[in-house]
Amino acid sequence: MKLLCSSCDTALQLEQAADAGDGTLVVTFGCPSCDQGIHLLTNPGETQLVRALGVRLGGRTTAPPPLQGTRAFLRHPRPELGMPATPGGTADREPAADPAPEPGAGPQSEELSWTPEARERLDRVPPFVRPLVQSMYEDYARERHLRVISPQVMDEARRSGRLEGHGEGEP
Amino acid sequence: MGAGGSRTPSRQPGPPRTYRQVVGDGGSRILEQVAAQRERLEARLALVGAVVAVASGKGGVGKSLFTANLAAGLAMRGAAVGVLDADLGGPSISHLLGAAPAPLELGDRGLEPATGAAGIRVVGVNLLQAGDERPVAWQGPTDSTAVWLRSLESTVLRELLTDTQWGRLDYLLVDTPPGAEHLPVLAQLLPGLRALLIVSIPGQLAQRTVARSILAAQELGLPLAGLVENMAGLDPDPAEDGPSMARRLGIPFLGQVPFDPRLARSAGTGRPYVLDHARTAAGRALMTLVERLQERVRGGPR
């Protein structure tokens, strides 16, 4: 599935997929061109379908643990397999909360500063995903040895696709 | 599914671009993960000489019992053999091979398979769950089971194949569940499948049902190694025997296993019949089938 911005015809990019804790997901997409955004709210069946495929929205950096899906979904697993206890499994779920710090907080943020305009733009991101989006911009800036995050840097990050971390090419 | 915008957009004039006109995957990276799943599966099976599936399309033809004896016959001829019980709803291979549900070992590199008669390595979903007689059941939202269950079954099979430490095997046999509908999953999971054996029994009803699986396998381009007629002689005057059926459907006829009550009774012993009765008619027939399978696998494309 792909989402197009109805304002500027740009493909929306996945910014965050978060477990709502009730068997549903909140998947946030943003427009790299005009700052439009949507939250996609999946129902339990859709959530389960994605998990049953053994994939994680937004990708993963390491291979999943062995038999992850089998262990998570088997109703009566043998205890030595370390099965998750909750329906659908807790292993490898999308993060429920953002671990990233607020702007200006934490040791890594000391080396970076945000211009007031950039901060204002960041504040328009829904609070729910703001820390994650912030950390993505900061990672982008650090990789390029930038000390100040301005709206221009934010635009570059979005255009680069690095913000979402997805590859190019037709799937 | 629901969606909410952060503000009211002004729409672009004209029709939007279509799926294939938009480059990229929107950041979901799902296809990338599916490709990685396939690579991990291929890496695991790189140590397996040949993956051979046994299917039928019809329940009750003795397919799993045949698979267990095929595995044992291969082991008797010196092959290292593993069996994946792909029948998630009614797994039985571990019982037929006498693989006791010892404490399982699951490490970072995967699951250590159970060991059955003749050193055959076996994995089935029943070995992963508590309570041997419990039905295999999956947990999820009860109001939408049909939406995800088939996807989950495919994932479980892929994981059992990928995440089992099979080691170096000459043959990995896959005992598939009854029903032609499982063959597309097999084709997708195992593009490197070397041979597919189809098991039938005398009788028009069984043959008609099995024929559907043969046609489905042909449509999918699966490597049909041949038809095996199990319980041959059960019907002394069949409307169509196994060789005729194979000719009609255009596949090789691999051989017959004569009906033998001792063979059926062996199912409860945890020891494949052929191991101790290789000189009986049924035992000789099974060993002949083993040899023919090996010939076909050796002669087929690698």
Mean pLDDT lowest for which of A83-92, A114-123, B13-22? A83-92
Average pLDDT over residues A9-27: 87
User: Does the beta-carbon distance from B2 to A81 stay under 8 Å?
Assistant: no
Q: Which of residues 61-90 of A touch B (CB under 8 A)?
A: 63, 65-71, 73-82, 87-88
The Cα–Cα gap between B83 and B116 comes to: 10
Q: pLDDT-based confidence at A159, cuts 50/70/90? A: confident
User: Does the beta-carbon distance from B12 to A12 stay under 8 Å?
Assistant: no
Angle at B19 between CA B149 and CA B12, to 5 degrees: 130
Parallel, antiparallel or unpaired: strands B48-55 and B169-175: parallel
Average pLDDT over residues A102-106: 39
pLDDT of the residue at A163: 59
pLDDT of the residue at A96: 41
Q: Do B17 and A6 contact (CB within 8 A), yes or no? A: no
Asked if A116 has any chain B CB less than 8 Å from its own CB, the reply is no
ipTM: 0.85
Nearest to B57 by CA among B225, B176, B188, B224: B176
The Cα–Cα gap between A65 and B218 comes to: 36
pLDDT of the residue at B280: 95
User: Does the beta-carbon distance from B136 to A74 stay under 8 Å?
Assistant: yes
Asked if A123 has any chain B CB less than 8 Å from its own CB, the reply is no
Mean pLDDT lowest for which of A6-20, A72-86, B131-145? A72-86
At A31-78, the pLDDT tens digits run: 999 988 999 998 888 888 888 888 888 888 788 889 988 988 888 888
Kindly provide the residue ranges of all beta strands, DSSP E only, lying in B187-259, ordered along the sequence.
195-200, 224-232, 253-258
Task: Please say if the pLDDT value at position A153 is more than 90.
Answer: no
A91 or A161: which carries more pLDDT confidence?
A161
The Cα–Cα gap between B25 and B55 comes to: 37
User: Does the beta-carbon distance from A80 to B134 stay under 8 Å?
Assistant: no
Average pLDDT over residues A148-159: 84
Task: Please say if the pLDDT value at position A102 is more than 90.
Answer: no
Asked if B138 has any chain A CB less than 8 Å from its own CB, the reply is yes
Nearest to A112 by CA among A145, A160, A65, A79: A145
pLDDT of the residue at A98: 35
pLDDT of the residue at A86: 37
pLDDT of the residue at B2: 57
Consecutive sets of 10 residues in chain B, 302 residues long: mean pLDDT of each?
Answer: 54 83 86 90 95 91 96 97 94 92 81 95 92 82 72 91 96 93 91 95 90 95 96 86 94 95 92 96 97 88 48
Task: Please say if the pLDDT value at position A106 is more than 70.
Answer: no
Q: pLDDT-based confidence at A95, cuts 50/70/90? A: very low
Parallel, antiparallel or unpaired: strands B169-175 and B81-85: parallel
Task: Please say if the pLDDT value at position A87 is more than 80.
Answer: no
To the nearest whole Å, the CA of B27 is away from the closest chain A CA by 5
Kindly provide the residue ranges of all beta strands, DSSP E only, lying in B2-149, ordered along the sequence.
2-5, 48-55, 81-85, 106-107, 110-111, 114-115, 121-124
Q: Please, how many CA atoms are within 13 Å of residue A159, restricted to the half-sphere of its CB?
A: 6
Which strand (E) or helix (H) includes residue A52?
Answer: helix A44-52
